[in-house]
Amino acid sequence: MTTRWLALLALGACIGLAQAARAAESACMEGAKTELEQLYCQVVREGGGAGLPSPTDFKRNDPQVQALLLRRPAGRLGLDVPDVGVSAAPGSPPSQAGPELVGSEPEAESEPNGQLTECRLQGQRITCPQRRFDLVTNQPNSKLKDGVLASNNRLGLGPFEGNRNDEETVRRYLSDAYDRYIPKMVDIGLGASTMSFTAFHHAFHTMEGGGVDFARRMEQTFTLLKQDKKNLAVDTRYHDELPDDLSLCTVINRDIIVCDNVGTNWVYVSPTR
């Protein structure tokens, strides 16, 4: 793919490498204002910060994303992650977080059998009692439905009209937007090249904070992806990594499950879709 295309896929990837130098450890803890920020500093100090964002980027996340970022590295060090309900701002109940709460209770009502806990992750397949979901790859144009690369096939995200400082409103908007973005990417044959919800969240704040309409820019990106897809071949997958367990997964709709370890996104689709 072209450099432009690859850059577009990374629109929301604002998470940097952890700055875990010993000289910064003291400053990190002194600047920590919440339990999650203190835990971040402790994880970095004990050598578990590889892959975490910088302290500045970490603080830009809301508590749910902070807890998600810390869950695995803290667990490897035997450290407990504080309840996000304690750190979250009033009026931001975890039940409204949508796909952002990867690793917590999924929105199981969307899954036909009620709970992902009844399902089994088997590498490139998720098997549930009455149906299965297969890991999707990028598809050649010959396997796409007619018209999906046409100009009238739009991503169609609505503009954000709320207060960007109201995290509950932002999460609800981004949850709905993400639930539309993932199936649309699958439709144009780029299901293996999707942004994680964390990257999606970062893209929103980066663009809106810079005075750029998120929905409009995402529509422009979708248009360019379709144009490139018409003319360029794509790799079926860009890595061989697979999710470790179902705690990383959440339901998008009755036909799609997304698994996400922040850095990598995996999309599983029902063959009946």
pLDDT digits (tens, 9 = 90+) for 183-209: 999 999 999 999 988 889 999 999 999
Tokens standing for 174?
Answer: 């981004």
More confident residue, 258 or 68: 258
Pairing of strands 265-269, 256-260: antiparallel
Predicted confidence (pLDDT) per residue in 109-127, tens digit: 334 333 587 899 999 999 9
Contact 245, 256 (CB under 8 A): no
Contacts 24+ apart (CB under 8 A), 33-37: 34/63, 34/87, 35/82, 35/86, 35/87, 36/63, 36/66, 36/67, 36/70, 36/81, 36/82, 36/84, 36/87, 37/66
**Cα–Cα dist 216/205, whole Å:** 14
Predicted confidence (pLDDT) per residue in 129-188, tens digit: 888 999 999 999 999 999 999 999 999 999 999 999 998 899 899 999 999 999 999 999
More confident residue, 7 or 61: 61
CB-count burial class (<10 Å; 0-12, 13-18, 19+) for 269: buried
pLDDT at residue 209 in the model:
92
Residue 69 pLDDT exceeds 70: yes
Predicted confidence (pLDDT) per residue in 258-273, tens digit: 998 887 899 999 998 9
Predicted confidence (pLDDT) per residue in 6-60, tens digit: 444 444 433 333 333 444 567 888 888 899 999 999 988 888 776 677 787 777 7
Helices 197-209/167-187 angle, 10° precision: 120
pLDDT at residue 74 in the model:
84
Tokens standing for 12?
Answer: 């929301």
Angstrom CA distances, 244 to 79, 83, 108, 131, 177, stand at 19, 23, 20, 21, 26
**Cα–Cα dist 43/11, whole Å:** 28
**Cα–Cα dist 273/94, whole Å:** 29
pLDDT at residue 88 in the model:
34
Output the pTM of the full model: 0.61
3 half-sphere exposure, CB direction, 13 A CA radius: 0
Contacts of 67 (CB under 8 A, 6+ apart): 36, 81, 82, 84, 87
Contact 115, 191 (CB under 8 A): no
Residue 98 pLDDT exceeds 50: no
**Cα–Cα dist 122/143, whole Å:** 25
Residue 101 pLDDT exceeds 50: no
Contacts of 210 (CB under 8 A, 6+ apart): none
